Amino acid sequence: MTDFDVIILGGGLAGLTAALHLSKTQKRVLVIEKNPYPNHKVCGEYVSNEVRPYLESLGVGLDAAGVVPIKRMQLTTVRGHEIVTKLPLGGFGISRYSFDHLLYEHAVDNGTIFQFDTALECTLKNGTFHVKTASMKSYSSKMVIGAYGKRSNFDKQMQRPFMNQQSPWLGVKEHYEYDEFPDDLVALHAFPGGYGGLSKIENGQINFCYLATYDSFKKHKDVAQYNRENVAKNPFLNEFLNKAKPVFEKPLSIAQISFASKNPVEEHMLMCGDSAGLIHPLCGNGMAMAIMGARLAALTTLDYLNGKMGQADFETKYQNLWKHEFQERLAMGRRIQSLLMRPWLAELGMNTIARSETLLQGIIRRTHGKPILV
């Protein structure tokens, strides 16, 4: 007898969603997460509506949580070109502070057990997984889901190829008070070496999150100087940074953001969320992919636990399902990222997109899925 049916490594959106889905079917689920909730994360905090029906079917009350419905997207360039378009599906704004905490509370209500600890090691012996943590605890399970995000000690242990490549991107995020920003808009503003997104969250504040290359960042002393001297070269961001009032003591930042391709199954663990692959944030749906990937992992795990499939079959089934669902949009995201890495092409590309609503709508369609009807 194992301690749990499923152990989930990492309790971000992917891990929490998988926990919620599995514990709803009375499976014994343990989530090992290193940081207690609630906490802030570097993220654009715009969630595509493709996951709304699924989350609601899991009992997550988004409207009660005060999410802000978002229907339009604005794209602007350094030269001041601007385009505003309707988002075919739309989405909603909610801070990661509240979103992750909301899912955590639901998972606890369903019976999920949480350990706030760092998972260090995972081995499979005679059909049983054994997970060890930094505080010397050890747990066994029939199945492990890897949902530990973009980059973790497990990636190093498993020698995943992207760990040997330097990534040129860093991410910065801060919340602001700014009354002039419309409720229903997500704005994407390009600046030399990066771009940033603005959208409203549940408490009326504005989230400003950007992705920038090291090359453009390294000449500046800190985020404040980079904002003043580089980010503000976009006239829309210049106005925002001059008028808006920062809320955090200091901005959050992360480095080494990799968009390299990864395998959805590693050492018999089903990977979901960013540990299976991160889409370029310009596509605006990494969170939806994490939630949808968690659903696929939960459904496949249930088939295995309920005896419908053997280990080899369900690993192949998951790989195929995952690739079918996400491969095309990840490839599109990677094309966008390689364009952004060449400054003159990035400027040309952004200026072209900012003049063509048809092109912009085509990109949105090819990087987003359809709502999951449950």
Ligand X SMILES: Cc1cc2nc3c(=O)[nH]c(=O)nc-3n(C[C@H](O)[C@H](O)[C@H](O)COP(=O)(O)OP(=O)(O)OC[C@H]3O[C@@H](n4cnc5c(N)ncnc54)[C@H](O)[C@@H]3O)c2cc1C
In the chain, the N- to C-terminal Cα span, in Å, equals: 33
Q: How far apart are CA 105 and CA 101, in angstroms?
A: 6
Q: How far apart are CA 109 and CA 254, in angstroms?
A: 32
Residue 42 binds ligand X, judged by CB under 6 A: yes
Residue 340 binds ligand X, judged by CB under 6 A: no
Other CB atoms within a 10 A radius of the CB of residue 248 amount to 11
Alpha carbon separation from 13 to 25, 41, 374 (Å, rounded): 19, 11, 19
Helix (H) or strand (E) run with residue 207 in it: strand 206-213
Residue 168 binds ligand X, judged by CB under 6 A: no
Residue 171 binds ligand X, judged by CB under 6 A: yes
- Footprint on residues 125-164 left by ligand X (CB under 6 A): 147-149, 152-153
Among 8, 10, 146, 354, which residue sits at the site for ligand X (rule: CB under 6 A)? 10
Residue 12 binds ligand X, judged by CB under 6 A: yes
For the record, the structure tokens of 18 come out as 């998988």
Query: Which of 109, 94, 95, 116 minimizes the C-alpha distance to 20?
Result: 109
Among 18, 29, 33, 227, which residue sits at the site for ligand X (rule: CB under 6 A)? 33
Contacts of 364 (CB under 8 A, 6+ apart): 73, 85, 87, 88
Phi, psi of 255 (to 5 degrees): -120, 175
Give the residue closest to ligand X by C-beta: 12
Helix (H) or strand (E) run with residue 64 in it: none
Taking residues 242 to 281 in sequence order and writing x for each that binds ligand X by CB under 6 A, - otherwise, the string is ---------------x---------------xx---x--x
| DSSP calls for 248-296 | SSS-EEE---------SEETTEEE-GGGT----GGG--HHHHHHHHHHH
Q: How many residues bind ligand X (CB under 6 A)?
A: 40
Stretch near ligand X under the rule CB under 6 A, chosen from 11-19, 240-248, 301-309, 366-374:
11-19
Among 85, 118, 263, 319, which residue sits at the site for ligand X (rule: CB under 6 A)? 118
Question: Nearer to ligand X by C-beta: 154 or 236?
Answer: 154
Residues in the chain: 374
Stretch near ligand X under the rule CB under 6 A, chosen from 41-49, 73-81, 218-226, 228-236:
41-49
Stretch near ligand X under the rule CB under 6 A, chosen from 35-43, 49-57, 316-324, 363-371:
35-43
Among 7, 198, 290, 336, which residue sits at the site for ligand X (rule: CB under 6 A)? 290
Nearest approach in angstroms of CB 61 to ligand X is 20
Among 146, 168, 193, 197, which residue sits at the site for ligand X (rule: CB under 6 A)? 197
Among 216, 286, 364, 372, which residue sits at the site for ligand X (rule: CB under 6 A)? 286
Among 75, 119, 145, 265, which residue sits at the site for ligand X (rule: CB under 6 A)? 119
Among 8, 18, 32, 231, which residue sits at the site for ligand X (rule: CB under 6 A)? 32
Residue 94 binds ligand X, judged by CB under 6 A: no
Contact present, 274 and 14 (Cβ < 8 Å): yes
Nearest approach in angstroms of CB 151 to ligand X is 8
Long-range CB contacts for residues 240-245, cutoff 8 Å, separation at least 24: 240/176, 240/178, 240/181, 240/198, 240/208, 243/178, 243/180, 244/176, 244/177, 244/178, 244/206, 244/208, 245/176, 245/177, 245/178
For the record, the structure tokens of 315 come out as 């690993």
Nearest approach in angstroms of CB 307 to ligand X is 28
Which residues of this chain interact with ligand X, rule CB under 6 A? 9-15, 32-35, 41-47, 118-119, 147-149, 152-153, 171, 197, 209, 211, 257, 273-274, 278, 281, 284-288, 290
